[in-house]
Amino acid sequence: MTKKWYGGIEAGGTKFVCAVGSGPDDILYEERFPTTTPEETIGRTLEFFRNVDVPLEGIGIASFGPIDVNPASDTFGYILKTPKLQWIDADFGQAIQRELGLPVAIDTDVNGAALGEWKWGAAQGLDTFLYFTIGTGIGGGGMVRGNLMHGLLHPEMGHMRLPHDRQRDPFEGACPFHGDCFEGLASGPAMEARWGVPAETLPTNHPAWELEADYIALAMVNAICTISPQRIILGGGVMSNLALFPLIQQKVKHYLNGYLQLPTIIDDMDGYIVPPGLGNQSGVLGAIALTQVAA
């Protein structure tokens, strides 16, 4: 049997990752470039796929959002009102489909990454779990009973509201829509705006990390009480500081305050809130998985 090849596009807030492959062990081509204007970024994406010398079955797009994921809609694949202002109303998915003449499967970056983690990473064997990215933006997606979550549109867990103690943290928040939502308080750019330096340059003993873990833990408690996930995977640039994991795990227990007396919560927090099994490849592999599922 001839091997089938798929294209994947991880469209993130700071970078795009384009790849051709069929799974984690056989990525044939891969390229990363910064996310700039829609015209330039989509142009580079098209150029990458036009130079590929194997036939592709389809293209999967795992994109920042909000994005229209309803195939029956006229604006299917368009970016909607987003904090990334240049991309509002940008035709992304249909442009790729039209220019490359291939079937296109689209979902959010986090639903895509969740699917990748479910197939090959830290969510194998589970049917209800969440994947969050905490980086340039914050997003959450995942599966409920084996299906990626969609509904009115798709979950926008990065914009949930959190308790905000303005005495402890006077920063008003960085989300252009809500100010101090989860993303507005805890994204990479929010950390940079609050502390005046990029998050990755803050020393590990800086109070920024304690506060960051606090916001993430509050959001995780909301998610745990709402969705009842069997596991939560935390990826994205901010989470590359692995010292956040034990802080978050401990604070989640603290905020649950003895509620949910389950073995996983009591004894296995290490295995409950975890980094991605696919490292920084879950997004692009998830995009490939999206088109494999659709094919």
Q: Is the dihedral of CA 256, 261, 263, 266 positive or negative?
A: positive
Give the binding range for Zn ion (CB under 5 A) out of 14-22, 159-167, 210-218, 226-234: 159-167
Site string for Zn ion, 115-154 (x = CB under 5 A): ----------------------------------------
Is residue 157 involved in binding Zn ion (CB under 5 A)? no
By C-beta, is 175 or 186 nearer to Zn ion?
Answer: 175
Is residue 159 involved in binding Zn ion (CB under 5 A)? yes
By C-beta, is 159 or 253 nearer to Zn ion?
Answer: 159
By C-beta, is 137 or 276 nearer to Zn ion?
Answer: 137
Instruction: Kindly state the number of chain residues that form the binding site for Zn ion, as judged by CB under 5 A.
Output: 5
CB of 57 to Zn ion, least distance (A): 36
By C-beta, is 82 or 281 nearer to Zn ion?
Answer: 82
Q: Where are the alpha helices (DSSP H) in 228-262?
A: 244-256
Phi, psi of 99 (to 5 degrees): -75, -35
Site string for Zn ion, 177-196 (x = CB under 5 A): xx--x---------------
Phi, psi of 98 (to 5 degrees): -65, -45
Closest by CA to 25, choosing from 107, 131, 121, is 121
17, 175, 219, 274: which one binds Zn ion (CB under 5 A): 175
* 243 burial level (CB within 10 Å; 0-12, 13-18, 19+): exposed
CB of 220 to Zn ion, least distance (A): 17
CB of 116 to Zn ion, least distance (A): 25
Give the binding range for Zn ion (CB under 5 A) out of 16-24, 118-126, 176-184, 243-251: 176-184
User: How far apart, in whole angstroms, are the C-alpha atoms of residue 62 and residue 113?
Assistant: 8
CA distances from 78 to 34, 95, 139 (A): 20, 9, 18
Residues 6+ apart with CB under 8 A from 68: 75, 76, 77, 78, 80, 93, 153
By C-beta, is 123 or 181 nearer to Zn ion?
Answer: 181
Is residue 164 involved in binding Zn ion (CB under 5 A)? no
Q: How many helices (H) and strands (E) does the chain have?
A: 10, 10
CB of 184 to Zn ion, least distance (A): 5
Give the binding range for Zn ion (CB under 5 A) out of 35-43, 90-98, 100-108, 156-164: 156-164
* 247 burial level (CB within 10 Å; 0-12, 13-18, 19+): middle
CA distances from 287 to 113, 118, 176 (A): 7, 12, 28
CA distances from 150 to 106, 147, 246 (A): 12, 9, 31
| 228 in Cβ contact with 144 (< 8 Å) | no
Give the binding range for Zn ion (CB under 5 A) out of 113-121, 174-182, 187-195, 248-256: 174-182
CB of 81 to Zn ion, least distance (A): 11
Within 34-53, which residues bind Zn ion (CB under 5 A)?
A: none
By C-beta, is 31 or 169 nearer to Zn ion?
Answer: 169
What amino acid is encoded at 146 in this protein? G
Residues in contact with Zn ion by CB under 5 A are: 159, 175, 177-178, 181
